Amino acid sequence: MKLRKVFAIGLSGMMALGLAGCGEKAPDTIKLGLIVPKTGQVAQYGIAVENAANLAVEEINAAGGIDGKQVQLFSYDNKADATESINVFNRLVDNDKIVALVGPVISSTSLAVAPLAEEKKIPMISPTATNLAVTPDYSYVFRACYTDPYQGGTVAKFASENLAAKTAAVLYNAGDDYSTGLAEAFKATFEAAGGTITSYEGYTADDKDFKAVLTTIKEKQPEVLFNPDYYNTVGLIAGQVKEVGLDTIMLGGDGWDDVQKDYADVVDGYFFANHYATDDPDPIVQNFIKAYQDKYEGNTPNALGALGYDATKIMLDAIAKAGSTEGEKILAALQATDTDAVAGHVTFDENGDPQKSVSMIKVEGGALKLEAKIGQ
């Protein structure tokens, strides 16, 4: 009898301890959401961002977390699709109860999520959505990269100043906000600098054959060909540029990042705008590269990785500075951001767009080399 009583007390004591453990654990984490494409055309981008975000979270947790609380990252695949992005955003907010969001990665999906983040007062920072319309209408939406017009204009400036090109052709994906945004800005800036646009041609996402349109472009012999699209399409087009014998220098935007992995032979000697260069000697850059390589078996992070890391860090810093997980307080801290990040020094303008420099990268012998840094 006595024994049984002792046993019962012991058991209830253990249960109480167990329950206390549970109760203590729940509010003890800071829940951060991440939306990235892990399947589909731009899967490499999503995986790079996710890896980098995991690294940033791990570093913060290893250093004791934020106010002693560990950061918990909830990551979902949006398949680079706008509707799917909205579904996973709702799941993150309703089921996982996140306090802030990093992502989505590409512009079209970020445009889909931005109004929802505003409505639910979830501070959101897209690492890589470069389309102009992502931030201005939404006070809760920020980005870690520069915008399409800024980037397209910088490539045009590079073409006319550094390459001394007088003629350019533009070939862009007419069904994609990112591609169209860069193409328009390139055209405007290049013409303003006194250059001539010989062809301005759009295509659709399903197109695989570009030889017909490239043959027409070839007749006008442009010195440069601007193709702002993602690496798979760029590889396809660059191969056909060679096939039709079009002798030109191809230029692109940050969507080209990773193009050297599968298509080094066809894009050799071409240039594209990017957010950071792995051969940049800045210690912040080199420390990040080393940490990433240690964690991911020697893989060198691409620009998407750098921006994913920056975006996660900026958001976590803001949560730490706000000293709260309330949307409004995090928002105020985000607006006051003034920090050195991997992809350049970051402050935000009134739209939530960072003010930073553009690196022009050259593909050479399967490697990426920093050609020029074109300033703010």
Partner 1 sequence: MSGFIQQLINGIHVGSIYALIALGYTMVYGIVKLINFAHGDILMMGAYFGLFSITVLHLPFGLAIVVAMAACALVGMLIDVIAYKPLRNAPRISALITALGVSLFLENFFRVIFGAEPKKMPNIPSLEGGFVLGTIKLSYVTVLTVILSIVFMVALQFVVKKTKVGKAMRAVSEDKEAARLMGVNVNKTISITFALGSALGALGGVLYSVAYYQVEPYMGIMPGLKAFVAAVLGGIGIIPGAMLGGFVMGLIESLSKGYISSSWSNAIVFGILILVLLFKPSGILGKNVREKV
Q: Which residues form the interface with partner 1 (CB under 8 A)?
A: 39-41, 43-44, 79, 174, 201-204, 206-213, 215-216, 218-219, 232, 235-236, 239, 243-245, 262-263, 265
Nearer to partner 1, 213 or 318 (CB): 213
Q: Is 70 helix (H, G, I), strand (E, B) or coil?
A: strand
Q: How far apart are CA 167 and CA 172, in angstroms?
A: 17
Buried b (16+ CB within 10 A) or exposed e, 45-79: bbbbbbbbbbbbbebbbeeebbeebebebbbbbbb
Nearer to partner 1, 17 or 205 (CB): 205
Other Cβ atoms within 10 Å of 3 Cβ, number = 7
Nearer to partner 1, 9 or 174 (CB): 174
CB of 261 to partner 1, least distance (A): 9
Nearer to partner 1, 244 or 370 (CB): 244
- Secondary structure percentages of the chain, helix, strand, coil, to 5: 50, 20, 30
Nearer to partner 1, 43 or 320 (CB): 43
Q: How far apart are CA 159 and CA 226, in angstroms?
A: 9
CB of 201 to partner 1, least distance (A): 5
CB of 222 to partner 1, least distance (A): 14
- Tell me how many degrees the CA angle 109-115-120 measures, rounded to the nearest 5: 115
CB of 232 to partner 1, least distance (A): 5
CB of 219 to partner 1, least distance (A): 5
Amino acid at 91: R
Q: How far apart are CA 362 and CA 60, in angstroms?
A: 34
Nearer to partner 1, 39 or 300 (CB): 39
Q: How far apart are CA 284 and CA 276, in angstroms?
A: 11
Nearer to partner 1, 192 or 212 (CB): 212
Other Cβ atoms within 10 Å of 168 Cβ, number = 28
Nearer to partner 1, 95 or 204 (CB): 204
Instruction: Please name which of 161, 165, 129 lies closest in space to residue 147, comparing C-alpha atoms.
Output: 129
CB of 294 to partner 1, least distance (A): 26
Instruction: Please name which of 35, 53, 87, 68 lies closest in space to residue 342, comparing C-alpha atoms.
Output: 53
CB of 91 to partner 1, least distance (A): 21
Amino acid at 131: N
CB of 271 to partner 1, least distance (A): 22
